[in-house]
Amino acid sequence: MNAVLLIDFGSTYTKLTAVDLDAQQVLGTAAAYTTVQTDINEGLRKGLAELEKKTGKLEYSAKYACSSAAGGLRMVACGLVPELTSEAARLASLGAGAKVVGLYSYQLTEDDLEEITRTAPDIFLLSGGTDGGNTANILHNARMLATLPPTFPIIVAGNRTAARECGRILEGHEVYLCENVMPKFGVLNIEPTQKQIREIFLKRIVEAKGLRQAAVQMSDEMMPTPSAVLKALKLLADGCEEEGGVGDLVAVDVGGATTDIYSIADGMPEKMNTVYKGLPEPYAKRTVEGDIGMRYSIRGIVEAAGVKKLSAVSGLTPERVEELVSYLSQHTDVVPNGDEELEALDQALASMAVQTAVARHAGTMEETYTMMGLTYVQSGKNLMHVKKIVVTGGSLIHTKKTEKIAEYGMYSAEQPASLRPRAADVWVDRSYILAAMGLLSSHDPLCALHIMKKELEKHGHSEQENS
């Protein structure tokens, strides 16, 4: 036996997975409350004790970890044009596993600086202008940021003509110069910035979140949890050198406060008479809906879907929906526990969370008429051909209605312009192994791929037509 321990320090739970590399199988999983307010190692020790009850005492040849504890990696980004450099900065941040808590375009104002100070980000990403293009905007923003206390590192990833001058303006701050996130009009170059974000996470955030003691026990550097999940999903879709993957996919993780969406797909237009509008999207894309969550962000689901829709899906009266939503928003730790009304509402909330988040992540298609006749205009990713949707999160794994909830992430005649998957198999991560497999994939991708193919619970082909 060659046992490896994989740890995910989450905001609420620390999740542990023990894997036997030789047998390519999961030996056991366990979870304990993340004790971030005292010593994060307390939760780790409790989790290890729980795991040992299932696996017996094990000697681990390696230990790997990721973290989103204490809110994860909080970033603010700014660029020149909202649809271009600002969007490129946002995509770079999300793909690196960060949570974007502020996004600005054009010139920063004094009001913006006050808001940034209140936000207290872990990292600031300063971008703007294509190489050889506008320099005035990014230089103005550098001068504005220079007036703030040096409490967070600043990554400069804009017009290369102005990069070094931005560095001089920001002297006294912790500054990192990176390649432009959008060097040419409509061209993304986000990998160098993502690499820098992860390096800062290791150097600064692990220390700030009280993870240093845990980190020194690991066999490799810690990474942000969403980055690990994205890595696992890319492996699952593409495969590795020795074995192919399962093809393009979409993944949904519905949490108490946010909903994370991932897609591994090209997503470009499929028909000759389709024109693409906007910035090309990354092949491996992650978005976070910070206003969509089962408890802390329950009001966001209600605002997005409407009480009437929640009533129709749950079978409860609108008045009862309002009452229960109000109760759950004040009692965020409540779970249904056999209560039929709460179970019905939770199913409806999860369904609308999935529908809203996937619709926001996917692209749209519009019809227009030109001299050449009917033409389609695509914005964002076309995911209609995707045949697999992977779901996780407490509201989806602790229910018998998982497949029904997941169907709301698929195409609906109600929203014909949305390019969500038309029909897909539903795969369920009931044991929360995706982050663990992302960690493992850096060291034994074939083992990680085999475990995911074996452990993810597969449901048959589904097609959503009436959501």
**Predicted local confidence at residue 71, as pLDDT:** 63
Q: Which residue has the higher pLDDT, 2 or 68?
A: 2
For residue range 205-225, list pLDDT tens digits in order. Answer: 777 666 777 778 888 888 888
**Predicted local confidence at residue 369, as pLDDT:** 86
* Domain-embedded: residue 459: yes
**pLDDT tops 80 at residue 276:** yes
Q: Which helix H or strand E contains 250, and what residues bound it?
A: strand 249-254
Written as six digits, the tokens of 118 are 């209140």
**Predicted local confidence at residue 413, as pLDDT:** 87
**pLDDT tops 80 at residue 142:** yes
Tell me: do 277 and 161 sit in the same domain: no
Residue corresponding to tokens 């999935």: 354
* Domain-embedded: residue 236: no
CA neighbor of 92 nearest in space, from 10, 196, 204? 196
Range with top average pLDDT, 193-207, 281-295, 302-316: 302-316
CA neighbor of 122 nearest in space, from 100, 106, 147, 105? 100
Supply the DSSP symbol for 173.
B
For residue 314, the Cα-to-chain-centroid distance in whole angstroms is 27
Tell me: do 179 and 275 sit in the same domain: no
Please report which confidence band the pLDDT of residue 198 belongs to, taking 50, 70 and 90 as the band edges.
Answer: confident
The rounded distance, in Å, linking the Cα atoms of 157 and 190 is 9
* Domain-embedded: residue 307: yes
Cβ(386)–Cβ(362) under 8 Å? no
Tell me: do 37 and 137 sit in the same domain: no
Tell me: do 397 and 288 sit in the same domain: yes
**pLDDT tops 60 at residue 466:** no
Tell me: do 315 and 254 sit in the same domain: yes
pTM: 0.85
Tell me: do 332 and 412 sit in the same domain: yes
Tell me: do 53 and 197 sit in the same domain: no
Question: In percent, how much of the chain has pLDDT > 90?
Answer: 64
Tell me: do 60 and 83 sit in the same domain: no
Which CATH number belongs to the domain containing residue 86 in this structure?
3.40.50.280
CA neighbor of 30 nearest in space, from 41, 42, 17? 17
Backbone angles phi, psi at 404, to 5 degrees: -60, -40
For residue range 227-248, list pLDDT tens digits in order. Answer: 999 999 999 999 999 999 999 9
CA distances from 262 to 157, 162, 194, 361 (A): 24, 33, 16, 8
Cβ(382)–Cβ(250) under 8 Å? no
Given 203, 233, 265, which residue is the final one in a domain?
A: 203
For residue range 31-61, list pLDDT tens digits in order. Answer: 888 765 667 788 888 999 999 999 999 999 9
Please report which confidence band the pLDDT of residue 256 belongs to, taking 50, 70 and 90 as the band edges.
Answer: confident
Tell me: do 337 and 429 sit in the same domain: yes
For residue range 62-84, list pLDDT tens digits in order. Answer: 999 998 865 668 899 999 888 88
Which CATH number belongs to the domain containing residue 29 in this structure?
3.30.420.40
**Predicted local confidence at residue 429, as pLDDT:** 94
**pLDDT tops 60 at residue 467:** no
Average pLDDT over residues 267-293: 87
Tell me: do 260 and 336 sit in the same domain: yes
Q: Which residue has the higher pLDDT, 256 or 327?
A: 327
**Predicted local confidence at residue 278, as pLDDT:** 80
H-type alpha helices, 306-339: 307-314, 318-330
CA distances from 457 to 9, 277, 403, 448 (A): 24, 37, 11, 15
**pLDDT tops 90 at residue 117:** yes
* Domain-embedded: residue 299: yes
**Predicted local confidence at residue 38, as pLDDT:** 66
The count of domains in the chain is: 3
Tell me: do 416 and 300 sit in the same domain: yes
Query: What b-and-e string marks burial along 350-378, b requiring 16 or more CB atoms within 10 Å of the CB?
Result: bbbbbbbbbbebbbbbeeeeeeeeeeebb
For residue range 391-437, list pLDDT tens digits in order. Answer: 998 889 888 899 999 999 999 888 899 999 998 999 999 989 999 99
Containing domain of residue 138, as a range?
Answer: 73-203
For residue range 329-362, list pLDDT tens digits in order. Answer: 898 888 888 889 999 999 999 999 999 999 999 9
Backbone angles phi, psi at 7, to 5 degrees: -125, 135
Backbone angles phi, psi at 88, to 5 degrees: -60, -40
The rounded distance, in Å, linking the Cα atoms of 198 and 204 is 10
* Domain-embedded: residue 415: yes
Tell me: do 20 and 109 sit in the same domain: no
The rounded distance, in Å, linking the Cα atoms of 297 and 305 is 13
* Domain-embedded: residue 243: no
**Predicted local confidence at residue 216, as pLDDT:** 80
